[in-house]
Amino acid sequence: MSRGSNPEARMPLREHLREFRKRLMLAAAGIVVGMIVGWFLYQPVFEALQQPVLELAREQDADVKVNFAGVATALDMQLKVAAILGLVVSAPWWLYQLWAFVAPGLHRKEKRYTFGFLAAAVPLFFAGVAFAWLVFPNAIVILTGFTPEGAANFLDAQLFITFAMRLVLAFGLAFVFPVVMVALTWVGIVKTRVWLKGWRWAVFLIFLAAAILTPTPDAITMLFMAFPMVALYFAAIGIGALRERAVRRRAPAEPTEAPA
């Protein structure tokens, strides 16, 4: 990145792409390490995912099982679960790389907000993961409850585990999106008025995503997911507005500092 005295200087496109590649490779390396950890976590994670099925079979005397239909299905599932667990485990690392890609556009004293970004993004990501983990057992109970009496329900392992892990990842990313909104506003890429102007579409898309991602047919669970996301969306707008107001107030009094 060029470090001239001009505060409006921008990183040349070639350097911008080089920085993007660097951060992408660092993030990928962290995810690979997370995948190795995820490989060893597969067994306890699978047992935890299977627990609602076992409890349902025991409590209702139902013939419900997770079925591995193919010879290589178990290995394929372990690889897929390890990949998604790698994304979850390495979340603090790749979230940092996301911020580090944006940070060159900040001034020196603004880069101290890196800790604030991570302190907000990482807990929210894991909060979304935890929320999905709580929703999943309830989904299994409700959806398998439609099995006719006397029939067996053999859950395909591919669909069962892939659905569970994608649900976990989707909730985590949904909960961290407001922090990304704040970051984009913080560096001046997206103005607060843009987020506010599109709030109707945002609320609609949030409820649509909640309806798709929530595996239960009841509206209560969908609302339980959508309301926190809407609240986080408007909280992100509020934080961005406070930031823009603070910048406007100090602009006449403080000289603009060149980016680091």
Domain ranges of the chain: 13-250
Residues 226 and 219 sit within 8 Å (Cβ to Cβ): no
**Token reading at 253:** 């009094």
Q: How far apart are CA 97 and CA 91, in angstroms?
A: 10
Confidence category of residue 97, pLDDT binned at 50, 70, 90:
confident
Q: Inter-axis angle of helices 91-102 and 73-89, to 10 degrees? A: 50
Distances from the Cα of 219 to the Cα of 164, 202, 204, 229, angstroms: 20, 19, 15, 15
What average pLDDT does this structure show over 195-216? Answer: 80
Higher-scoring residue by pLDDT: 258, 191? 191
Residues 91 and 124 sit within 8 Å (Cβ to Cβ): no
Mean pLDDT of the chain: 77
Confidence category of residue 31, pLDDT binned at 50, 70, 90:
very high
Which residues does 256 contact at the CB level (< 8 Å), separation at least 6? 7, 107
Is 100's pLDDT higher than 90? no
Confidence category of residue 156, pLDDT binned at 50, 70, 90:
confident
Q: What is the pLDDT of residue 2?
A: 39
Dump pLDDT digits (tens) for 246-259.
777 776 555 544 44
**Token reading at 193:** 């008025």
Element spanning 65, H or E: strand 64-67
Q: What is the pLDDT of residue 4?
A: 41
Nearest CA among 231, 206, 233, 211 for reference residue 222: 211
Is 75's pLDDT higher than 70? yes
Q: What is the pLDDT of residue 216?
A: 55
How much of the chain, in percent, has pLDDT values that exceed 70? 75
Q: What is the pLDDT of residue 74?
A: 81
Q: What is the pLDDT of residue 193?
A: 86
Q: With a threshold of 0.85, does the pTM exceed it?
A: no
How much of the chain, in percent, has pLDDT values that exceed 90? 8
Q: What is the pLDDT of residue 1?
A: 41
Distances from the Cα of 85 to the Cα of 66, 105, 162, 210, angstroms: 20, 31, 12, 22
Is 9's pLDDT higher than 70? no
Residues 166 and 88 sit within 8 Å (Cβ to Cβ): no
What average pLDDT does this structure show over 182-188? Answer: 76
Tokens 């009094």 sit on residue = 253
Q: What is the pLDDT of residue 149?
A: 67
Confidence category of residue 62, pLDDT binned at 50, 70, 90:
low
Higher-scoring residue by pLDDT: 13, 117? 117
Q: What is the pLDDT of residue 35?
A: 92
